[in-house]
Every structure is written in C-alpha cells, then in structure tokens.
Amino acid sequence: MPERTTLIVNLAATAFMAGVIWYVQLVHYPLMAGWPHDDFAAWEERHRQRTGMVVIPAMLVESLTAAVLLWRRPPGVPPWIVWLAFVVLLGIHASTFLVQVPLHERLSAGWDAAAHQRLVASNWVRTVLWTVRTVLVAAMLAAANRRFFAG
C-alpha cells in the first residue's frame, strides 16, 4: 500500500522535526545568548548553514509527503485529520518564514538581544505545532494500520 508507506515517511520526517525543534527550543536557542557577541554575525551564519543542512531535507520530505497524503489518503484515515495535519504544517511554515527567518536575518547582522529574546519566545509556536502534528500523523498511521491489519 503506497499510501501507508507515504504516511510512515511523513511520520518519520515530522517526528524528526519535532525532536529537532524541542532541542533547538530548550538547548540551542537559549545558548545563543552566550555566543561571543563581538563575532555573533559569523556564529549566526555558521548556525544557519549547518542547521539548514539538517532541517531543509526533512522539511521538504515532510511537506511533499503531506501534500501526497491529501491527494492519496490511506484507507481508514478520515479526511479531516489529513487536512488538519496539513493546516498545522502550513502554520509551522508561516511561523518559520514570517517570524523565525526574519529574526535570524536580524541576528546575522550582529547580536541583538531583543531579536534573540523574540526568537526564543516565538519559537514556542513551532515547538507546539510540530508536537501536535506528530500526534496527528501518528493517529493517522494508527487508523491506517487498523484498516491494514483488519484486512
């Protein structure tokens, strides 16, 4: 069943991103305040490059498989949960590109305590949404598995 495989890949990418965002929220972003402020722009640039190598592929896989699930929903999975999970993903992307990316761009110019504080505070939106999305996609897989194993 290709739809079930797509769902498994979507859950793997989503759960990976949930783990990354919790690490970033609780460890990485708070530690940024301790980076050398006189050379902060260079540190921020390295952060953006290395983080991009980790998260961009996972976010692309998550987005692609989420879109495929809208088109080819696994048997046994209610349409509403697929759409809700997709809307949550849109919220994650909106927060990322409208809030976090501009804040990182501000920090790329040098240390800015207010931008850093806003980055840490606003990132809770993505942390909560990726957690919710992981639960929703896991529930979709559970529904698909019930159908799959029931015959």
> What residue segments make up the domains of the chain, in order of their start?
2-150
pLDDT digit string, tens, across residues 96-123: 999 999 999 999 999 999 999 999 999 9
Structure tokens at 38: 């006189």
Predicted TM-score of the model (pTM): 0.93
The correct CATH number of 2-150 out of 1.10.3470, 1.10.1200, 3.40.50, 1.20.120 is 1.20.120
Closest CA to 137 of 82, 59, 64, 91: 82
Residue ranges of the chain with per-residue pLDDT less than 50: none
pLDDT of the residue at 150? 64
Q: Which helix H or strand E contains 121, and what residues bound it?
A: helix 113-150
